[in-house]
Amino acid sequence: MRRAAFAILSLTFVLLAFNAGAQDNSKRHVTPVKPETNKVLPPPKGTDEKIIQQYISGDSAEAIAEARKDSLRRVYKHYPRLTDVSFGINFIEPVFMLFGQTYASADVNATLNMWNRLQPCVELGLGWAKSTPDDMNFTYKGKPSPYVKVGANYNFMFKNSPDYQAILGVRLGYSTFSYDVNDVHYANSYWQEDMTFDITGERSHALWGEAGVGLKVKLWDRLHMGWMIRYHGIFNYGKNTNSSPWFIPGYGPRSSSLGFSLGISYTLPIGPKGKAPERDEKTNHQTE
């Protein structure tokens, strides 16, 4: 009996000792947890002070929204509504006349750049012609006559500097003009008669539309050069009893569907402080 009790006590003691050793061994393998601290990590470099104050005041939702806007401001330049205004002249067609072209249109223009994206514009010019078309039996003389075009450009490079632009433009043009048709040759084979006569003092008008693509690049300081290839079509024009206009000022030959313009312009910044937004190199923030 005593031996049985002693055996039970010995077994109990061994089990208790083994359990205590296991607990000590498990404790030695537990990684201690770092105590939490009240240390506030500094905000990322360049964070706006307004956002920091919102976080401190507990308005985290508004702070997150402002932080998102702030991150976008770091990526994109935000130009003022009135960015700049340009005054220019399109002169390429008079140059073409020096190389044999028989007609020309030239204009002065003004373009208002809004948000460096949308650009309302107006063009005022004169067009004239003196041509004897190869397939016609007359000499057409278009007297210098005015035209006007109104429209707008869209700058696809609005995220970049206004000095370099890729644009899509639309125009509505109108002209009222006069012309003469001289040396009209008429041959009557039946009567075997040849006649030559003039049609003078003819007047007409035209309304047309244009769509084009082009580029604008900086030459020096505020001086820029721009060109545009234009597709155009006539909505209506005035016909006369004895003739129809061959040339339309600002449009070109009535049968044409393509035009080209090239000119120079001078740009005046009109945004805040008279300049486009720049960036602080240290904080990468936009400055006004």
What does the pLDDT read at residue 111? Answer: 97
What does the pLDDT read at residue 237? Answer: 96
Question: CA of 248: how far to CAs of 63, 127, 149, 174, 251, in Å?
Answer: 60, 7, 13, 9, 5
Say if CB 209 and CB 236 are below 8 A apart: no
Say if CB 247 and CB 103 are below 8 A apart: yes
β-pair partners for 150: 122, 172
Predicted TM-score (pTM) of the model is: 0.69
Element (H, E) at 231: strand 223-237
Which 3-state string (H, E, C) describes 237-253? ECCCCCCCCCEECCCEE
Residue 82: pLDDT over 50? yes
Q: What does R_g of the chain's alpha carbons equal in angstroms?
A: 40
What does the pLDDT read at residue 250? Answer: 96
The CATH class, in words, for 82-274 is mainly beta
**pLDDT band, very low/low/confident/very high, at 248 (cuts 50, 70, 90):** very high
Nearest to 169 by CA among 223, 218, 215: 215
Which 3-state string (H, E, C) describes 34-91? CCCCCCCCCCCCCCCHHHHHHHHHCCHHHHHHHHHHHHHHHHCCCCCCEEEEEEEEEC
What does the pLDDT read at residue 279? Answer: 47
How far apart are alpha carbons 52 and 63 in whole angstroms?
8
Other beta carbons within 10 angstroms of residue 147's beta carbon come to 22
What does the pLDDT read at residue 128? Answer: 97
- In the chain, % of residues over pLDDT 70: 63
Residues of the chain with CATH 2.40.160.20: 82-274
Residue 146: pLDDT over 70? yes
β-pair partners for 258: 231
